[in-house]
Amino acid sequence: MVLNVTNSPFNEQQTELLNRLLPTLNGHQQIWLTGYLSAQAAAGVQTPGGTVVPAVPQAESAPQTPEAPAAPREVTLLYGSQTGNGSGLAKKLAKRLEEQQVKTEVLSMADFKPNNLKKIANLLIIVSTHGEGEPPDNAISFHEFLYSKRAPKLDSLNYSVLALGDTSYEFFCQTGKDFDTRLAELGASRLAERADCDVDFDETAGEWMKAVTEALSATPAAAASAADSAAPLSSDSESEYSRSHPFQAEVLENLNLNGRGSARETRHLELSLEGSGLTYEPGDSLGVYPENHPRLVDEIIAEMGWDPQENVAIGKNGAAALREALHRHYEITVLTKPLLEQAAKLTGSDTLARLTSPEAADELRAYLGNHDLLDLIRDFKLHGKSAAELTGILRKMPARLYSIASSPQATPDEVHLTVRTVRYACGGRDRYGVCSVQMAERLEPGDRLPVFIQHNPNFKLPQNPDTPIILIGPGTGVAPFRSFLAEREETGSRGKSWLFYGDQHFSTDFLYQVEWQRWIKDGILTRMDVAFSRDTDQKVYVQHRMLDKSKELYEWIDGGAAVYVCGDEKHMAHDVHSALETIIAQGGGLSPEQASEYLLRMQQEKRYQRDVY
């Protein structure tokens, strides 16, 4: 029914506003508004117009209004993430919501039954984006469901999305954006706007949590003040050290694992966690804050003609001498689209502005892929800008995550890493992987590295120590499997294990060869198949070895083995996935679709876990 001045107590302007608003409200919103207004009236609340609406005694209020519904007090909180950031944030948010008496059910997206969507009133999503804008493993099936024909209308659902991502990737926060868009298309209403987080997510995530807690709480003001005084998001109750307050771990050992003549260099690093209170499990990662190469820092300062001792700001509250700031606090090797956009504003350069426009997406991708800050300065003539102006638009140095290669049972108070050194030449200059080259060239026993533990609940040994495990990890992807086997040895686990490993050459690149051999001899490692890609005319990769052993592999899988894949995401992980589909289809006599469903089920049952990037 349309309101007009004759059938309502509103003036013309109010009538017009209401007629614009009312048709846009869904059923849930209409009921909520009715209740809200009557609750305001009952409490004698001052309206925005300044009039005090008198408290109306219930008995006299006619016509009968529905009872004011309590503010939403139950929420389902789903997380999807590959590295454990999502689940960590979800746990912290759940704690804050519970403190505000909001009943919160926290679930991995893989454990949520999408058919229950119709039954819930409030949904919060925390999700990261993987690879080329893809959902992380535990979000794949929920993402597919929402975009399928089976997705229901969700008119009475309220929701909000926290998207985790990295601005150095083209499809920044794409999965979060997908969920946000799709839920709106299905008729759901936003409790709070989506927030998109870069790698340094604390501040943005904190603001989003505050907004959703206020929206869901019966007492928004109390929720806001509780959020302001809450513990930092990165804090870990087990230790005083965390992502925002890293532990300075002493280097105990730093070796090159590759033999003479190898094209590769792989560092085996042993660090001490003694006195840190930091604990980890096999499958977790270590976050490391690296330092930029001093040569690149000096080249930038010389190019700009800056004073290396000039004081510049670090974040909101800190400051440091410029050389120190560029060495330790700012990212100078990776360019991002937001950085180029800000540089375009700073310089007023039309060429730079055009490079960040939607029409230049391919050109931008190519430029970001192989240029650093020094190139940007030279290519777009950033000379003349002050140190404060330029550092003001740089990203804080992000931590690097490495899969831990040691078992806390076997080597307590230590953490081991396996890190491939990245060096290449481009545009007539030598380029360095920031962290790996620091480890290779400028890190000796006795030095210290700022570190924290990144727990990864999505890459864990089976709870039952007798469950057979199949481990697929070429190159440095083998790191967590050294941890898995050391743990199984130490805990006396009797489950069978099968390792597929590969690298370029048997003689120079067989990482940890002696350890695998000892574990085979001692019965800790049941089987091992290797693929040395450059020892034969035709390349041989781990998936070829898997296909060679297709029948036996299927027997292991069918018998309940858990499958783990670690290493390169772009090619290897996809090829290994296809090989597994083939093996399951052949072994089980299944169609390709059935085999892919079989693998999806394994993923949901946590029998197929990946740590790939």
Q: What is the DSSP string of 496-532?
A: -EEEEEEES-HHHH-TTHHHHHHHHHTTSS-EEEEEE
Residue 340's nearest CA partner among 299, 380, 313, 399 is: 380
Give the other-Cβ count within 10 Å of 540's Cβ. Answer: 17
Query: Omega before 23 cis (within 30°)?
Result: no
Site string for ligand NAP, 22-41 (x = CB under 6 A): --------------------
Q: Rule CB under 6 A: is residue 483 a binding residue for ligand NAP?
A: no
Structure tokens at 435: 């962290």
The residue among 137 and 180 lying less far from ligand NAP, judged by its C-beta, is: 137
Residue 99's nearest CA partner among 232, 240, 210 is: 210
Q: Which residue is nearest to ligand NAP (CB)?
A: 475
Site string for ligand NAP, 497-536 (x = CB under 6 A): -----xxx----------------------------xx--
Q: Are 349 and 380 in contact (CB under 8 A)?
A: yes
Least CB distance from residue 280 to ligand NAP, whole Å?
Answer: 14
Q: How far, in Å, CA of 495 to CA of 443, rounded?
A: 38
Q: How far, in Å, CA of 36 to CA of 79, rounded?
A: 31
Least CB distance from residue 372 to ligand NAP, whole Å?
Answer: 19
Which residue in the set 288, 566, 579, 584 belongs to the binding site for ligand NAP (CB under 6 A)?
Answer: 566
Q: How far, in Å, CA of 440 to CA of 455, rounded?
A: 26
Q: How far, in Å, CA of 79 to CA of 106, rounded?
A: 8
Residue 160, CA distances (Å) to 78, 120, 147, 179, 576 in order: 11, 14, 17, 9, 35
Least CB distance from residue 166 to ligand NAP, whole Å?
Answer: 14
Binding segment (CB under 6 A) for ligand NAP, from list 47-55, 125-133, 210-218, 475-483: 475-483
Q: Rule CB under 6 A: is residue 110 a binding residue for ligand NAP?
A: no
Which residue in the set 479, 486, 525, 565 belongs to the binding site for ligand NAP (CB under 6 A)?
Answer: 479
| Helices and strands (H, E) in the chain, number of each type | 22, 21
Q: Rule CB under 6 A: is residue 420 a binding residue for ligand NAP?
A: yes
Q: Rule CB under 6 A: is residue 476 a binding residue for ligand NAP?
A: yes
Q: Rule CB under 6 A: is residue 153 a binding residue for ligand NAP?
A: no
The residue among 419 and 595 lying less far from ligand NAP, judged by its C-beta, is: 419
The residue among 310 and 568 lying less far from ligand NAP, judged by its C-beta, is: 568
Q: Are 555 and 602 in contact (CB under 8 A)?
A: no
Q: Are 321 and 308 in contact (CB under 8 A)?
A: yes
Q: Which residues pair with 562 in a beta bridge?
A: 469
Least CB distance from residue 401 to ligand NAP, whole Å?
Answer: 8
The residue among 306 and 402 lying less far from ligand NAP, judged by its C-beta, is: 402
Q: How far, in Å, CA of 212 to CA of 216, rounded?
A: 6
Least CB distance from residue 575 to ligand NAP, whole Å?
Answer: 4
Q: Are 190 and 160 in contact (CB under 8 A)?
A: yes
Query: Binders of ligand NAP among 390-419, rule CB under 6 A?
Result: 402-403, 418-419
Which residue in the set 180, 200, 214, 611 belongs to the binding site for ligand NAP (CB under 6 A)?
Answer: 611
The residue among 383 and 570 lying less far from ligand NAP, judged by its C-beta, is: 570
The residue among 237 and 538 lying less far from ligand NAP, judged by its C-beta, is: 538
Give the other-Cβ count within 10 Å of 46's Cβ. Answer: 10
Query: Binders of ligand NAP among 231-260, rule CB under 6 A?
Result: none
Least CB distance from residue 413 to ligand NAP, whole Å?
Answer: 20
The residue among 448 and 571 lying less far from ligand NAP, judged by its C-beta, is: 571
Q: Rule CB under 6 A: is residue 345 a binding residue for ligand NAP?
A: no
Q: Rule CB under 6 A: is residue 86 a binding residue for ligand NAP?
A: no
Residue 482's nearest CA partner among 508, 501, 468 is: 501
Q: How far, in Å, CA of 227 to CA of 214, rounded?
A: 9
Residues that bind ligand NAP (CB under 6 A): 402-403, 418-420, 474-477, 479, 502-504, 533-534, 539, 541-543, 566-568, 571-572, 575, 611, 613
